[in-house]
Amino acid sequence: MDKHYCEFPPNFKWGCATASYQVEGAHDADGRKPSIWDDFTRQPGRIHADMCGDVSVDQYHKYKEDVQLMKWLGLKAYRFSISWSRVIPDGRGAVNEKGLDYYDRLVDELLANGIEPWPTLFHWDLPLALQKLYGGWQSKEVADDFAKYAEVVTKRLSDRVTNYFTVNELFCFTDLGYAGSQPNESVFPPGICLPRKELNKVRHNALLGHGKAVQAIRANAVQPVRVGMAENCLGCVPAIETKENIDAARKAMREVNATFLTAILEGAYTEHHLETEGADAPEFTDEEMAIIGSPLDFVGVNQYAPTYIVADPGQTLGYRQLPHPSTYPKLDMPWLFFGPQILYWTPKFLWENWNVNEIYVTENGAACEDKMNLEGEINDTDRVLYLREHLIHANRAVKEGIPLKGYFLWSLLDNFEWAWGYSKRFGIFYVNYRTLERTPKLSAKFYREVISKNAVG
């Protein structure tokens, strides 16, 4: 191979990722009941142009076609999420066999085509019944219901599925759902704004649900399985690679992620986090923290944009976070700042801070203003640039012996982009939302070449 190519190890896991509410559609098919996202999208003004995921890209019915797209790419793995509302429509109680049947079919189709299934149990679509019953993540009851759901799924799939993610991006379904909005983005469901003390209860309950799900998966698997989670931790990057800035960024990685990632990996809240929250700090028992800190087999990180850090002895913790100037380059989302170094520094600091010895990039990708030309092509050179540069930095990590074992591109398909509806496209396959036809973009052809060569140049 050309010496200019960045080669990956032979067993490096190349994948793509999606989420159930974003791609499945079939919102009321075969016994599925509403999730909080079904309800939220029906509230006028919540979603761009009042769009919803009722049909989306209909992977529920088109999964065989989509698996063939994955096979064409050469994927080794597919990360998808399971709809809790499809499996246990009321969130607790009766199990919907037809819902489980769908995931049976999807798993079997993936395996028949040489693609490993990597399911995520929760990607934000809480059954609406639980929100109405006890306020969703506001109640500790949700942690037990989530563990029971994890048990049901594990008993059904673990004869064939050995890798599981518990939850996806804790911040998004806690803070964005229960504490108001981010700049330029709508509030996520349930769309309420709690006082800080109550928000910290929500966060703690979500952590507890993760820990109880870890234990439930292990306890109910019919063969040895591996468990992790996918977290959109802030990826701290030294603004300049000096020893002082690197040390500061390593420390910052632990502290800026204290609410979720650090709590899980250490089974404890940091002293600084508890001091900062003061009277609003989460209340917990030693038993709960032990559950939250249940050992993981791997850690997945969703990485899109950098958090630049410089050493600053004048600050309490010895570092300072730099804001992005107005002219800083970004892709087609307000927060999607271009900083491919995250795929080196985030795995590095996971390894160095917490001795995580199996790391996956579980999401990385770009929203772009994709347009199909008269020849039916989508030449998304911006996305190709984004992917290429990030993979080069991922390769740096691998070559330095950092245990980065795989990469899941977000996303396989254009789909329902939450509060943005269908106005933002992250897929490497273009979807005509009227006909649901899938067309590979230039980025799909690029990714196929990367996988084929097991290298990026």
Q: What amino acid positions are annotated as catalytic residues?
A: 169, 363
**Checking phi first, is residue 50 left (phi over 0); if not, alpha (psi -120 to 50) or beta?**
left
**Four-point Cα dihedral 166, 168, 170, 175, nearest 10:** -140
List all residues 6 or more positions away from 401 whose beta carbon is below 8 Å from its beta carbon.
none
The residue count for the chain: 457
Interhelix angle 243-256/342-354, rounded to 10 degrees, is 70
The 3-state DSSP class for residue 307 equals strand
> CA torsion sign, 18 to 61 to 119 to 166?
positive
- 8 A C-beta contact, residue 79 and residue 89: no
Query: How far is residue 95 CA from its own chain's centroid?
Result: 26
- The shares of helix, strand and coil residues in the chain, as percent rounded to the nearest 5, are 45, 15, 40
**Four-point Cα dihedral 234, 300, 118, 380, nearest 10:** 50
How does DSSP classify residue 95? Answer: -
From CA 227, how far away is CA 165, in angstroms rounded? 6
List all residues 6 or more positions away from 323 whose beta carbon is below 8 Å from its beta carbon.
none
Per the DSSP assignment, residues forming a β-bridge with 14 are 407
Cα end-to-end distance, the chain, whole Å: 10
CA distances to 43, 55, 75 from 189, rounded to whole Å, are 10, 19, 33
Range 207-234 burial, b when 16+ CB lie within 10 A, else e: bbbbbbbbebbbebbeeebebbbbbbbb
Here the tokens at position 112 are: 């028949």
The DSSP annotation for 400-425 comes to TT--EEEEEEE-SB----GGGTTS-B
CA atoms within 13 A on the CB side of 372: 14
From CA 336, how far away is CA 324, in angstroms rounded? 11
